[in-house]
Amino acid sequence: MENNQKILTEFEKNNFESIRVGLVKYRGNKYVDLRIWVLGDQGDKDNRLPTRKGLRLHVELLSDLIQALQKAKGLIRKSFDKSSKKKS
């Protein structure tokens, strides 16, 4: 089974979980993988294990995902702007 992964970034979700973003090559196809990783048995942050929670997306769909996230970011900003104006 061919499964090569290059980790691009990882950030903490909470004290027990992190989100890892990577590029994966599997069966000749390239994917972007966003996955939740948890602490291993020893609670060591250097010994994380992948979970089934995540998203593996063909690289051709990456621009669609980025566009959707940018739209969500814009809607969130508008939502906060409206709520802060109501409090004033």
pLDDT per position as a tens digit, 11-36? 999 999 999 999 999 999 999 999 99
Mean pLDDT over 52-68 rounds to 97
Q: How far apart are CA 3 and CA 25, in angstroms?
A: 6
CATH number at residue 46: 2.30.31.10
Query: Which range of residues forms the domain containing residue 16?
Result: 3-87
42 to each of 13, 35, 38, 51, 79, how far by Cα in Å?
Answer: 19, 20, 11, 16, 42
1 has a pLDDT exceeding 60: no
Query: Mean pLDDT score of the chain, rounded to an integer?
Result: 88
What amino acid occupies position 23?
Answer: L
Long-range contacts of 25-29 (CB under 8 A, 24+ apart): 26/2, 27/2, 28/2, 29/58
**Per the structure, how many domains does the chain have?**
1
Contact 6, 23 (CB under 8 A): yes
